[in-house]
Structures are given as C-alpha cells and as structure tokens.
Structure 1
Amino acid sequence: MDLKQLQYFVSVIEHMNFSKAAEKLHISQPSLSNAIKKLEQEIGSPLLERNTRKLHLTEAGQLLYERAIVVLKNIEILKLEIDEVVVHGTSEITIGVMESIKHWLPKVISEYKNRYPKMVFHLVDILGSERVKNSLRSYKTHLVITNQLIDDEDFEVKSLYEERLVAVLPLDHPLAEKEKLTIADICKEPFIIGKEGFQTRRDILNAFEKEGKDIKIQFVIERFEIALSLVRENLGISILPEKYLQGPTLKTIVQKEIDSPYLRRNVYLVYMKNRHLPVAIHQLLIEIEQCFSVKTN
C-alpha cells in the first residue's frame, strides 16, 4: 500500500464514481479500476460493493477511508512544514492581526528585528473566530492576535491583556465635560458600531442589553479609523478599545471611561499546538508574551 493508492481510493470515495475520479486524477478509468483492485488484493478484503449502480463502502473500506484521510492530511501538512524549513527557512512569518493592536505590535517587531533583521513579515487582517481557526489550520498564518476566545483543543491560546472599551466623542460634545459616563448617558446619542460578526460589536450590544437600554445605530463600519473620522465630523459617538486610542488620536477626539463592568475585553495570542514552528517564530511568540507579562507583574 502506498500514498498514490490511498489518493486514488479517497478520490473514488469522494466522487463515488470511477470515471469522475479518474478525470480528476488525470488517469484513465481502467488504470484507476486496476489500482483499486490491486489495493483490495493487498488488503485481502473488498473495499467497495459494485453490485448496484452506486458504489458502497464495505466495513473495511470505511475504515481505510477514515484512516487514509488522516494520513493524506498529515502528509500535506508535512510537505508544508518541510517547505517552510528547507525553502523559506526563518525568512518569513505571517501574523493574523486586528486593527486595535497597531500601537504595540510594531514596537515588539522593532525589538525582534534586532535579533532577526532579515525576517519578512506578512500582517493580514483576520476577524471572526471561524476565520481565525481556518487561517491557522490551513497554514495561511503562523499565529493570530485576536479578541476571540478560541477553545478548540488543537489551538494554544495565551491571554495577553485585558482592556476597557471606552466612549469616543467629538471635542465639543456636551458629554465631554463629564469625568465618567454611563450607558444611560450615551444611549440616546447617534451611534457608530462595527458590522455583524465583530466581537467588539457583540460586547457593546451585550452591555446595552444588560443595562436595559436601546442603542441608536446610525453608522455600521468595518474599521475603527472610519469610526474616528465620523466622530471628528460630529456625526455620532462610538465605543472603541482603549489601546487603539493611544498616540496622536487623542488630540482630535475625547476619550471617556464608561461605568459598566461589561465593557471590557481580552486579547489573545493563538497558534496551532502541534504545528512545527521554526525557532525564530517561537522567539517572536515569547517576545509578544513577555511584552505584557512584564507590565502586569
């Protein structure tokens, strides 16, 4: 039994049709049929029942199919990992990111570049728990920084920090004079919020619901920078992560704490547990974690 035989067998099962499978594999139907017959002879048991128009798996065929899927997937992963080590070495890293980490991640990368100056970084937007999981499992990203709590057993999840979600107001807004706001203060204001599927949106709507208040949504946005632009033009108010608002942003808007236990969120570092990662990438994981462990100790 070899890998090619397993690939042929899996293709037949996925199509449940020899001619379609042969076409997909770019071989003749007789060659495919002979390969499956040879596999059955090696195993010593029929794998498929062919006495009707439709193919059916025997018990042995079902077992082989389930195991073959795992074997072929592991081979695919191994090829990716070997390619990464042999072809790319430690020269590239892809990180799934969210907009709110723009102030601290570049500082970590700057320090890291002193140790690995030739490393090329690919920073890609990854939002939503399903996209996070798919990007990691398909090896499109090495690690992801997210506010989504991923609890699947094949992921390593490190909590980096907790932060407040704070109100963002125009400089001349009447509420800007208050030291601290409540949800009751802002519930009647025109509101700027992220689109469906964003964790921050869910957190905000949950806070309003817990307080028994409605929210007047006027703008639905994909990026925080758009929310800030709308706030500056006095078109509404928003609630954003406090770390996103660090830096020169504060000179153009007013940031106010909201008295609500629900307007907080955690940010996580997520990567695959069993994926081989080069030493250079492991070092980046360590430096990201250390960035926040130092501040909280």
Structure 2
Amino acid sequence: MRTPATHWRALTDPDGPSVGRQFRQPDLVPRAAPFALVAVAAMAGALVPKGDVESWPAYLGSTVLLVLCAGGFLLPWERLPGWSTVLVPLLHTASVLALILATGAASGIGLVLLVPLIWTALFHERWESVCVVTAVVAVQAISSIAQATPDVVVARRVVLWSALGGLIAVATHGLRDRIKSSLVANTELQAEVRELSLARERDRIAAGLREGVVRKVFDTGLELHGTAAMIAEGPARARLLRCVAELDEAIQALRQSVFDLGEDPEGPPGPAAGPVEPQDR
C-alpha cells in the first residue's frame, strides 16, 4: 500500500539523477493520465462538432508528433543520454504548434501548451523547464506570425507566455525543493524517533536486568556461599564452591550486558571475585 509520501517522492528525485525516471517511476499511469486526456481532448476537439481543421496535413503531423511523444514512455531510457528526456515534452509542444496551425489561432488550442509546460515543471530538471518555456514562447510567435497577426499582438503574446511559463516553472520547482526538504527532515525525524525508542527499550531491559536477574543471582550466590561454609571438606563442598564461582562469572557477564545496553548499573557486588574458600563456622 502506497502512502501520500510515496506520491510526493515522484516529484523530488529522492534517489539522485536517473535518466528517464519521469517515465519509469511507480504510479506513472495515474500521474500521466490527466495530461494524456487533455492532449487527446485537444486533438478530438479540432474535429468536433463540425471540424475546425483548416489544414489536414498539419493535423496529421500533429497527431504523429503526439503519438511519438506517447511512445517516449516505452523507450529504454537507461540506455539513452541524460538530455534525451527533454525531447518528450518538446515533441508535445511541436504537436501543439502543428495543431494550432491546422485549426487557427481562434480555436483556443494554444492553451494546451500548458500541458508540456506543467509536466516538465513537475517531473523534469530546471534546465528542461527552460527549454520547454522557450519552445512554448517560440510556438506562440511562429503561430502568430504564420497567421498574419499584428506585431503588437505577437509581442504581447510572447511577453505574456514568457512570464506565465517562467512563473509556472519557478513556482513549481520551488515547491518541489520544499517537498524534498520536508521529506529529508521527515526521514531524519523518523530516525531520531527510532533511536529514542531503541534507547528507551535498552534502558528498560537494563533496569530489568539490574533490579531482577542480577539481584536474584546475587542472593542465590550468597546463600550457596553460606551453605558451603556449613559443609565439611569433600566433593559436595568443592561442587558448591564451583557453583559460587560460576554465579560470580554470570553476574559479571550480566553487568557487562547492562553496560552494553547503555546503562552502568550500580548493583551489588558478586559473592566473590573468584572461588574463595569459605571459613567454617
């Protein structure tokens, strides 16, 4: 199951630069579907209801370019140079230019230029956004000049589309940077939380060892030590003394374990530093 953070990571390139990551990351279909629907709607809108296409060759050229753009999602990007990813939005931009020339400036198709512009700002590098903004402005200039638009109108379109494209690119890339910073901070915070949880668990285990296990072993060692003092020399007494020595070693090992867990216990000393011969009472 994917979390919202997974979707945001698609915008931030968390694993470093990777050629074609825009077309290979998880959840590609949900991300690309809205852009594809707008592009297809623009192509279909040129024919419905009566067909506003004035130049069929230009319309067919636009369709071919759009198909090539869609085919970019199937390319083996890991074998291609890093700059090649910008060709996909540029092909789409060229497709829109051909469609504008086929339908005329009054058709409103020019708004579809926002599709490659927004896609590039969301999923590509800054230099690619610069290329696409330049291409979008060039499309506006070429389509206006081709249709004998007054120079003042051409200049106005160039200025407005330059400002709009720059605004979208700068704002979107800035948002991506903030999202990436938030993801990094969130990862660091989760690491700190895990470390605190681990430290708390280590403290709990250490306290349990000190107050429970070490105390019981210590008391048992004292009792055996006293019992050995009541027994005359012989195998039984020697065996008890060996048990006392082993318990002493066990206490030292438990103390070391507590120390390794991050707490230096001040527990009671062991019954002896070694197998000390008890005095008969």
What's the TM-score once normalised by structure 2's chain length? 0.24
Q: Choose between structure 1 and 2: higher helix proportion.
A: 2
Say which structure is richer in strand. Answer: 1
Q: TM-score, normalised by structure 1?
A: 0.23
Q: Which has the higher contact order (CA 8 A, sep 6+)?
A: 1
User: Radius of gyration: which is bigger?
Assistant: 2
